[in-house]
Amino acid sequence: MDVAESRSRSGEKSGVLCRLRRLASRLSPDSLLARLILIFSAGFFALLLLTTIYAGESRHFYFMRALMGDRARRMAEVAVLLDATSPEIRFVLREQLNSRGFFVRFMSTRPSVSVHEDLKEMSELMEYMLNVSLARLYGDMPAGHGHGMHGAGHGSAKSLMSNEDVPRRGVLAIRELNLPSPMESFGQSVCQYFTKDKKTRGPSVYQATAVVPLHDGTWVVIEDSAPGYPPMPYFPFTSIMAIEMFFVAISLLAFYLCVKPLRRLARAADRFGRDIRTPALPETGPTEVREAAQAFNRMQTSIREFLDERERTLAAVSHDLRTPLTRMRLRVEQLDESQRIPLQKDIGELQQIMDTTIDIARSKSENVAVVDVMSLIESLVEDRQDMGQDIRMEERLQDPEAMFSIRPLKARPLSMKRCLANLMDNALRYGGHVVVDVVDGDDMLSVIISDSGPGIAESELKKVFEPFYRVERSRNRSTGGTGLGLSIARSMARMHGGDVTLENRPEGGLRATATFKRT
């Protein structure tokens, strides 16, 4: 049971991870340049954000230390001043000292001061600061405590109060402390920035009561409260975005220079796939780029030399085979008709296979030229019409404006002609009536050849492109050919960056679509 549960849990975890990966792949951009910029920009923005939060932490720490030290020193100075004057003058000074958030009163007996448990440690720390200030002002500060106040913010109250050398004159209790945390202050500043609310001070940071004895037995009670905690400056969103945009611009330039050679290499490989006579890549740029260009140029040269050698070899083989085939034809003519006809058919098929193989080899080395697509298709259709075959152009292409709207195409003329001729002949052989249509797009040119034959079974639509494959339950029982027509047509269409697809028409027959990429 435990094993089954563990397996189910592991399966659920793997399923969640798979969904997260799919979600990340859908959200992430496809371009390498965009991915690099996104990663580095997000990382830099996170760095700026963390730096801003750290600045808030530091501000919080130093504000607390300065607040407690300054308030304790002020109360000590007031107590020493009052202790140095006569009782009559004290009351005059009290009226002058009393102000908003700071009140002084005198008592003949020591008042009791209570401290809330949550504020006990902070009260002890500030009380220590008060006594240190009093000891300095009275001149009885023990040696070695000259810098005690400077490190007060870093130590705890217990560690500071453990030193009993500092005279404990005064007593201090913090009654209230409203100091916001760094994250609260940061969140408020962000909200203020986006809502454009006016910055206002919060409630009093703290309220404290200090009791200090005077030399004549009078006790001075000082009530002190700090004004509202000053709001953090607006979240520097504008500055962060300006820095981020500058970083994105620098990253865009740097990554573009890095990705540009890859794009140039990809375009060169695409051009080379369609034309082996394409010029070599310029071997310029950084060391790595030059090495990649040199390797690509070496590969391009090797492939070109191999294809040239193959073409010469096939041409030589074709030349050498023609003589034996001619002798075989002459000898077959001397045989009886019953024996002559099958042999002539076999010799014709051998000749056709040999010519087809040579055409495929030569098509790889054919140069690219501007092809008038409509003139080429019209000539192919008219040639077959002259032979009495049932083929025509789509009715909408009978309009001269529609014909002239089809733009010329950069292609290998003979290869493109062979591709379309094979598709037309295949449709005429098996389908009877054939209609040719042309659709011109921004990126692709499509030639659609539809027939009215019986069509092909769905399971056979991909197999018919295999070399020497012929449908057994054919659309015509007297099928001929070598089984290379569709294979050659697809190969030549793909050589132009396109493809050949087959589909059965709902009204009956087969539709062959040959696409050619515009460059």
Q: Is 68 helix (H, G, I), strand (E, B) or coil?
A: helix
Q: Which two tokens stand for residue 416?
A: 């493109």
Residue with tokens 């012929």: 470
Q: Which two tokens stand for residue 90?
A: 């004290």
Give domain limits for the chain.
Answer: 75-233, 282-365, 369-517
Give the residues across from 208 on adjacent strands.
174, 224
Q: What confidence score (pLDDT) does residue 157 get?
A: 47
**How far is the C-alpha of 178 from the C-alpha of 205, rounded, in Å?**
5
Strand stretches in 69-187, DSSP E? 102-107, 171-177
Q: What confidence score (pLDDT) does residue 99 get?
A: 85
Q: Residue 68: which of 165, 147, 139, 172 has the closest Cα?
A: 172
DSSP strand pairing (391-393 vs 434-440): parallel
Rounded to a whole number of angstroms, the CA Rg of the chain reads 47
Bin 167: left if φ > 0, else alpha if -120 < ψ < 50, else beta: beta
The count of other CB atoms within 10 Å of the CB of residue 195 is: 8
Q: Residue 173: which of 104, 217, 224 has the closest Cα?
A: 224
Per-residue buried b or exposed e for 502-517, using 16+ beta carbons within 10 Å of the residue's own CB = beeeeeebbbbbbbbb
Q: What confidence score (pLDDT) does residue 192 get?
A: 67
Give the residues across from 508 on adjacent strands.
none
DSSP count for the chain of H helices, then E strands: 13, 11
Q: Is 473 helix (H, G, I), strand (E, B) or coil?
A: coil
**How far is the C-alpha of 115 from the C-alpha of 207, rounded, in Å?**
12
pLDDT (tens place) for every residue of the chain, 519 residues total: 455 555 555 556 566 676 766 665 666 666 777 777 788 888 888 887 788 777 767 776 777 778 888 889 999 999 999 989 988 888 888 888 888 788 999 998 888 888 888 888 888 888 888 998 998 898 877 765 544 444 444 444 455 445 557 788 889 988 887 766 666 666 766 676 667 665 555 555 778 999 999 988 899 999 998 776 555 555 566 777 788 788 888 888 888 888 888 888 888 888 887 677 788 888 888 888 888 889 999 998 998 888 778 777 877 777 777 778 888 888 888 888 777 788 888 787 777 777 766 666 666 667 788 999 999 999 999 999 999 899 999 988 888 888 888 999 988 888 899 899 989 988 888 887 899 999 998 889 999 999 988 888 888 888 888 776 766 544 443 455 556 778 888 888 888 888 999 999 888 889 999 999 887
**How far is the C-alpha of 270 from the C-alpha of 517, rounded, in Å?**
11
Per-residue buried b or exposed e for 225-264, using 16+ beta carbons within 10 Å of the residue's own CB = bbeebebbebbeeeebeeebeebbeebbeebeeeeebeeb
Residue with tokens 């969140």: 187
**How far is the C-alpha of 357 from the C-alpha of 142, rounded, in Å?**
107
**How far is the C-alpha of 374 from the C-alpha of 397, rounded, in Å?**
9
Q: Which two tokens stand for residue 224?
A: 């002190």
Q: What confidence score (pLDDT) does residue 51 get?
A: 80
DSSP strand pairing (434-440 vs 444-451): antiparallel
Q: What confidence score (pLDDT) does residue 437 get?
A: 93
Residue 504 · residue 464 · CB < 8 Å: no
Q: Does domain 282-365 have CATH number 1.10.10.10?
A: no
User: What's the length of the chain?
Assistant: 519
Cα–Cα separations (whole angstroms), residue 3 to 9, 13, 15, 17: 10, 15, 18, 21
| Domain made up of 369-517: CATH architecture | 2-Layer Sandwich (3.30)
Long-range contacts of 98-104 (CB under 8 A, 24+ apart): 101/204, 101/224, 101/225, 101/226, 101/227, 102/222, 102/223, 102/224, 102/225, 103/222, 103/223, 103/224, 104/78, 104/220, 104/221, 104/222, 104/223
Q: What confidence score (pLDDT) does residue 350 get?
A: 78
Q: Residue 62: which of 125, 153, 127, 128 has the closest Cα?
A: 153
**How far is the C-alpha of 362 from the C-alpha of 62, rounded, in Å?**
82
Q: How far, in whole angstroms, is CA 369 from its chain's centroid?
A: 39
- The DSSP output letter for 440 is E
Q: What confidence score (pLDDT) does residue 377 get?
A: 92
Residue 169: CA count within 13 A, CB half-sphere: 29
